[in-house]
A and B are shown apart, each in its own frame.
Chain A
Amino acid sequence: MAAAVAVNGTSSSSDWEGRYYHVDQILDRPGPRTDPSFLAGDEVKEFLREKCKILVIGAGGLGCEILANLALSGFKDIHVIDMDTIDISNLNRQFLFRPKDVGNSKAIVAAEFIMNRVPGVKVTPYFGKIQDKDEDYYMQFNLIICGLDSVEARRWINATLVNMVDPENPESLKPLIDGGTEGFKGQARVILPTVTSCYECSLDMLNKPTAFPICTIANTPRLPEHCIEWASVLEWPRVHGEKKMDTDNPEHISWLYEVALARAKEFKIEGVTYSLTQGVVKNIIPAIASTNAIIAASCCNEAFKIATSSAAYLNNYFMLIGTDGVYSYTFEHEKRQDCPVCGGESLDVTISKDWTVERLIEMLVERQDIQVKKPSLSSPGKQIYFQAPPQLEQATRPNLEKKVSELVPDGGEITVTATTLPFNLSLRIKYT
């Protein structure tokens, strides 16, 4: 590691006397609430600084903060994954990046920055997707911290870590610490896969993504957002055909803005702006440095406590709201017995005997605790409806009009799969 050598002039050790004066006050002795199993002193320091291997998923708003906190806390073998490159709009909070870094990999730039600033810390970046890595890769870490804004990626890593748990092998249980923010609000949580409630268990706590019914967009627009959706969902494909819309392309956003504005004028709707257009089509979540700092610190604090046993760790959910004073709520989120990832029981779904397969699919897509796009359905030994490949879609399409009750008996099971779903969801169908 060139940076450490350059700073220290010696390659044997980059530490200096007194470097960990602050952290060592915690590691040298227990507090009144520390578990008796805590091994104060050299042993715990050696584990933290020499042996513990930690993975950070995301090198964005939370990720930059997480990497800095871990490095200063004494973690020295840190890996980071991020598939994104740096954009100018990241610079108001992603403090390891400078204007000259725009366009480069977040993971690589962040790793270099940390290694330069905090000598002796090794940060291994991976510029790519979490889905590129297999179980063997995830198995090498003691802990995983997730600072992502994508629900889909979090569901994937959550399901992967739950599946990895082998009751015979305690090492296979990887604590997952997950953080998220929006404006002045955020949450941090500790997930012990199969033991505590998992990410999937709490899916219904997420803010419902604002989806506008297509008939409103097409026929009765009322809000500026309806006009923008009309431009992006209906007009773009009509005018541009196969050409894909790129929400990072300012010319595309300008086009959508102009079209939305014209429609808004026609309907006398006020409020279509460039910034709103961008916000709606990119689903922008407002974000500031301070909230990311709080949530990332909370995540890293839990990682530090788990790695060292110097204090009890969060059980299991910390929620912060900074809009009106400082309000926070710490509670135990309960595991869902019918959680499709960690629950083991199938999800009971009660529907009318008259429901068609198409109606059932609509219901699944709308449900906040399922959040699936384009699901395929099958029952034991029977294909009900498949979205792909095209031949299978065509072959199963006639089933859409059929009643579910003609295909599945009362109490029967339906398996739901989808590309956005990192697991198979099993439903137990009951009829009213």
Chain B
Amino acid sequence: MSQTESQNIEQATTSVATNQPDAKTRRYDRQLRIWAASGQAALEASRILVVSSSATSTSILKNLVLPGIGHFTILDSTITSPADAGNNFFLNARSSIGKLRAQEAVPLLRELNDAVQGEAILKDVSELLATEQGRDWIGTFSLVIAHNLKKDTLDELSTLLWANPNGPPLIAVRSAGFLAHFHVQYHEHCVSQTHSENAPSLRITRPFPALLEWARSLDLQNMDPTAHGHLPFVVILVRAVDEWRKSHDGNLPKTREEKTEFKRSILAMRLKPDEENFEEAEAQAWRVWSEPAVPSDIQTLFSLPPLATSPHHNATFHALLETLAEFTKDPSGPGTLPISATLPDMKADTKSYVQLQNLYRDAAEVEKNHFKELFAAKHPEIAKSANPEEVDSFVKNAHHLRVLRGKQLGAFDKDRDALVTSLSLQPRETATHLALSALSALLSREADITVDALNAEVQTLLGDGVEFPDELDAAIGEVARAPTADLPNMAAFLGGLVAQEAIKVITEQYVPLNGYCVVDLIDSWTGVIG
């Protein structure tokens, strides 16, 4: 975790008088170290609708109530069956049988966390979908999650939510025995806090003026040997690149021979053979080989076609993205993404490391201010209303931004070419997905679930003339074995996976799933398709 994030946690939750955390921080300590106070605030502001109170649904909710979402609603008119009482941890076993399932589950979920509100709405979702008032109500949540919902009802729900790009995303889950899949439906999801583990560029080949000045000012031959042995590798590399360019028409080392020679030039700067900082500089020389002004995945974002139905809440992100593109082209700027203030640790003494850190911090501040000027000039209205923390976070994470464009639930199943291609590239994932889609269709028609019926349904999805791989037989056979089984272990597994995705969607941190996640608990794998 970066320093600013931990300070963020600290400021939000530490009482100033004692500097010891309060009860809430202590309770949430292990998760605040992951998504910080900003992620926690987003969770606490969220309202989640879960359609059904099956074992899988309550497992998902458990993992959202524990970290502290604001509010949940279970929409379910089902009466608890003996089977429900056997596989659902959030029912009172036999004594819940015959009672309303949602009403039984809500208190057992709420007792997990006093800070979370929850309610049971004892209606069937199709009832609500039938009235305008009901449809509007569904649109008021931050996220909707549905498990094993009948296909026609689910289609209606997904169409309703898709029609309004500003409405809640939908996570739709289908499970049968050891097999399952789930899909996250959103038009567009933008993330600046991706928590990428890739280190951003230190801009060694494009040093900012103060850094270049430092590297050039060094009298390497005559300086104090202790200081020489503690020069940070960044400064050494900047110096080595500068000298290399002078003797190579301004070019960087390209061929293998040149790269070897460049490394040798670093080691040749040593005063003594055991100077570890120069060894580190040699080991870090790869940073020089390829240091694009703008990494290609960020460059791609600059030319994303605008979405006809871009959600309102992404407007600021897109304005920032446009500003970023301009920033990289602005002649008075560095010609790159804004520099990151965070340095990795390196072999150095305190003084030179702190000096280097301050240089980077100052440079980052200068570039951020320049960015903000451009932002205000280009998007005066948005810049005025934008949350300053969002802007800071965007600039800080400029190297790791992500924009995901989603599909409507079911769009994949309507695209035969995509299905056939996917079946040849990822046979086991696609076969499992198709078998579960076929099951949904059959259950919705209340048809018998047999291998033959499933095969026929898959054939309808794929079209004629497509040969079934062995993986399809395996998946269809398994679905036919346990078509309506909500196994406790699968429910718990999905409970975790779906809650992870819900948290990522709500907090706008980390990168959520795009498409279908397919799960097979026989061979214990997961995969992503669509």
Residue ranges of A at the interface with B (Cβ–Cβ < 8 Å) = 7-8, 16-23, 25-26, 29-33, 65, 68-69, 72-73, 88-89, 91-93, 95, 98, 117-119, 183-184, 188, 219-224, 250, 253-254, 257, 267-271, 273-276, 278-279, 284-298, 300-302, 304-305, 311-312, 314, 318, 320, 322-328, 330
Contacts and interface: CB of A to CB of B under 8 A. Distances in A.
A32 B501 contact: no
A276 B1 CA distance: 9
Closest 8 CB pairs of A and B: A293-B496, A18-B82, A294-B496, A271-B3, A21-B83, A32-B477, A72-B488, A19-B86
B268 interface: no
A287 B66 CA distance: 12
Given A298-B493, A324-B510, A324-B511, A222 B353 contact: yes
Contacts of A89: 26-27, 29-30
A320 B496 CA distance: 12
Q: Which of A16, A72, A224, A312 has the largest number of chain B CB atoms within 10 A?
A: A72
A48 to B, nearest CB: 13
A19 B85 contact: yes
B201 to A, nearest CB: 20
A220 B349 contact: yes
A300 B489 CA distance: 7
Contacts of B92: 117
Q: Which of A26, A276, A294, A318 has the largest number of chain B CB atoms within 10 A?
A: A294
The size bracket of the interface on B is 35 or more
Given A20-B86, A326-B513, 14 more contacts: A16-B97, A33-B477, A72-B55, A72-B87, A72-B488, A89-B27, A93-B30, A95-B62, A118-B93, A275-B14, A284-B33, A289-B63, A293-B499, A311-B521
Contacts of B23: 88
B475 to A, nearest CB: 9
A72 B81 CA distance: 15
Interface in B1-60: 3, 6-7, 9-10, 14, 18-21, 23, 25-34, 55, 59
A305 B523 CA distance: 11
Q: Which of A69, A304, A322 has the largest number of chain B CB atoms within 10 A?
A: A322
Given A323-B510, A326-B513, A297 B345 contact: no
Contact of A30 (B354, B481, B503): B481
A223 B343 CA distance: 10
B149 interface: no
B374 interface: no
A20 B517 CA distance: 27
Contacts of B147: none
Contacts of A271: 3, 6-7
B33 to A, nearest CB: 4
Contacts of A92: 27-31, 66-68
B528 A326 contact: yes
A289 B499 contact: yes
Contact of B94 (A16, A69, A274): A16
Contacts of A325: 511-514, 517, 528
Contacts of B496: 289-295, 297
Contacts of A26: 177-178, 481-482, 485, 487
B255 interface: no
Contact of A269 (B31, B32, B354): B354
A21 B82 contact: yes
A295 B486 CA distance: 18
A217 to B, nearest CB: 11
B6 A276 contact: yes
Contacts of B194: 324
Contacts of B14: 274-275
Nearest to B473: A32
A258 B32 CA distance: 22
A314 B524 contact: yes
A314 B178 CA distance: 13
Q: Which of B85, B111, B492 has the largest number of chain A CB atoms within 10 A?
A: B492
Given A32-B474, A224-B3, A293-B492, A275 B30 contact: no
Contacts of B523: 33, 312, 314, 330
Contact of B482 (A25, A253, A322): A25
A249 to B, nearest CB: 11
Interface string B68-79: 100000000000
B350 A19 contact: no
A274 B21 contact: yes
B33 A311 contact: no
Given A16-B94, A22-B487, A275 B10 contact: yes
A32 B82 CA distance: 29
23 contacts: A16-B97, A19-B85, A21-B87, A25-B177, A31-B478, A32-B473, A92-B29, A92-B30, A92-B67, A93-B67, A222-B353, A223-B345, A250-B20, A286-B31, A289-B496, A297-B492, A324-B510, A324-B511, A325-B512, A325-B513, A325-B528, A328-B525, A328-B526
B453 interface: no
A103 to B, nearest CB: 14
Interface of B: 3, 6-7, 9-10, 14, 18-21, 23, 25-34, 55, 59, 62-63, 66-68, 81-83, 85-89, 92-95, 97, 111-113, 177-178, 194-197, 230, 345-346, 348-350, 353-354, 473-474, 477-478, 481-493, 495-497, 499-501, 503, 510-514, 517, 521-528
Given A32-B473, A32-B474, A19 B82 contact: yes
Nearest to A72: B488
Given A88-B27, A92-B31, A312-B523, A25 B481 contact: yes
B30 A286 contact: yes
Given A16-B94, A73-B488, A323-B195, A290 B354 contact: no
B485 A284 contact: no
Contacts of B87: 21-23, 72
A179 to B, nearest CB: 12
A219 B382 CA distance: 49
Nearest to B194: A324
B525 A330 contact: yes
B350 A25 contact: no
Contacts of A31: 177-178, 477-478, 481-482, 522
B63 A21 contact: no
A286 B28 CA distance: 10
A18 B31 contact: no
Contact of B86 (A22, A91, A293): A22
A224 B343 CA distance: 13
Contacts of A270: 3
Contact of B9 (A25, A219, A275): A275
A291 B497 CA distance: 7
Contacts of A296: 492
A276 B511 CA distance: 25
A343 B497 CA distance: 36
B528 A286 contact: no
A92 B80 CA distance: 28
Contacts of A224: 3
Contact of A95 (B19, B112, B485, B514): B112
A119 B94 contact: yes
B500 A301 contact: no
A289 to B, nearest CB: 4
Contacts of A21: 81-83, 86-87, 485
B81 A293 contact: no
A44 B492 CA distance: 23
Given A92-B28, A254-B19, A271-B6, A117 B89 contact: yes
A53 B28 CA distance: 35
Contact of B474 (A33, A72, A222): A33
A289 B522 contact: no
Contacts of B492: 65, 68-69, 293-294, 296-297, 300
A16 B91 CA distance: 15
Nearest to B502: A290
Contacts of A33: 474, 477-478, 522-523
A268 B62 contact: no
Contacts of B484: 22, 25
